[in-house]
Amino acid sequence: MRLLRKYTRLAVWGMNFQAADLFQQAPELRDENIYPIDISESVQASDLFGSASTARTSIREAGIPAVVVALPQSFIPTSAA
């Protein structure tokens, strides 16, 4: 991952269903230098396929220089006329 090589530590903020699925499908996201972040205490207590989600304070505490915000987006396919 280019971002990880550039910044050495990376946070992914927002452990929604899409982000959790991405962590499940991409084992390279389970790197010890990638920090899943969420404000929900129930999400922080869960196991994200081998990675523990942590609080936003981890960004400052661990000196994480880059944050990727995982925003869910609706996709509505359009039909060709």
Q: Could you tell me if residue 47 is inside a domain? A: yes
The domain tally of the chain equals 1
Q: Could you tell me if residue 77 is inside a domain? A: no
pLDDT at residue 80 is higher than 70: no
Q: Could you tell me if residue 29 is inside a domain? A: yes
- Summarised one tens digit per residue, pLDDT across range 25-62 is 888 888 889 998 888 887 887 777 777 788 889 899 99
Q: Could you tell me if residue 79 is inside a domain? A: no
Write down the pTM of the prediction: 0.76
Q: Could you tell me if residue 32 is inside a domain? A: yes
Q: Could you tell me if residue 13 is inside a domain? A: yes
Q: Could you tell me if residue 61 is inside a domain? A: yes
Residue type, 21: D
Listing DSSP states for the chain in one string gives: -HHHHHHS-EEEE---HHHHHHHHH-GGGG-TTEEEE-S-HHHHTSEETTEE-B-THHHHHTT--EEEE------------
